[in-house]
Amino acid sequence: MQPKDTFFSRKLNINCRGDLIDLSQAKIMGILNITPDSFYDGGKYYQEDEVLKRVDLMVKDGCDIIDIGAYSSRPGANNISTTEELKRLTPVLNNIRKSFPGLIISVDTFRSEVATEVVKNYEVDIINDISAGELDSKMFEIIADLNVPYIMMHMQGTPNNMQDNPKYDNVVKTVTDYFVEKINKLKLYGVNDVIIDPGFGFGKTIEHNYQLLHHLNDFKIFELPILAGVSRKSMIFKTLDSTPEESLNGTSVLNTIAILNGANILRVHDVKEAKETIKLTTKFLGSKVDNWYD
């Protein structure tokens, strides 16, 4: 496939199989890790009945998208083959599609082969790539061919080494420059639906994460939807000297800040609380008092 000379326009919606999803009000992406070793919920959702119960609960709690990951990207996680990743994914996708036919499904993968398989054979709607094509040089071309929304995240290094003393002269500028390069490449391939994710916790110190959160609004310069994934991460529990299990309240606080700073999608473990966060924050943003003083 030859790159095409096309340009992005202002987009706060994504096209999922012909349906336009409006992201002008923040949406919830519920996390479903079907891995034995994810940092928070590894091993919880591996059996078929547990997976379907989990998805059913997230749907009832108000999630808009389910993001399924079969490859743990926590620091130091074990590498698995493409075959093993697909072995974990395909039965889960098959069961979810049968039970929830209208559900918007995202798959968290950095492999173009996996992206091709799940989109073509299991009607996956979105590909969520933690490496923005860095770990698979074919990914951008494949996404263009598949014609599905693409979430690209900034990560310094790989999951195995990303937290080995990450350094930046200016983390906000580095991530901005990174997206400039990646977006320009995607433009040439004619990819129409792109969501950017600054990659909280992926090759960043706690201070880097908070600098990115503080400047999240700066990424509006790209005129693309922004995803924030802070749920139960170390930027919360290390700051509070607690644990991932004790980080729900902290997650809600940072999700609120993310929405106030321009996030269009919250990627979360706890859908009900995220839904409440969005509802209250939206109410706050939409409220004003005129002539408050006579």
Per-residue pLDDT for 43 more than 70?
no
Task: Report the C-alpha gap between 192 and 32 in whole angstroms.
Answer: 26
% of the chain surpassing 70 pLDDT: 89
Q: Mean pLDDT throughout 199-222?
A: 96
| 233 has catalytic annotation | yes
Catalytic residue among 233, 272, 279, 283: 233
| Structure confidence at residue 202 (pLDDT) | 94
**90-111: pLDDT as tens digits:** 999 999 999 999 999 999 999 9
**10-36: pLDDT as tens digits:** 468 999 989 999 999 999 999 999 987
Task: Report the C-alpha gap between 115 and 161 in whole angstroms.
Answer: 24
State how beta strands 65-69 and 150-153 pair: unpaired
| Structure confidence at residue 107 (pLDDT) | 98
* CATH architecture observed for domain 13-281: Alpha-Beta Barrel (3.20)
Catalytic residue among 54, 182, 232, 267: 267
Name the pLDDT band for 290 (thresholds 50, 70, 90): low
| Structure confidence at residue 7 (pLDDT) | 40
% of the chain surpassing 90 pLDDT: 78
Residue 288 in tokens: 């004003």
Each domain of the chain, given as residue ranges in start order, spans 13-281
**pTM given for the model:** 0.91
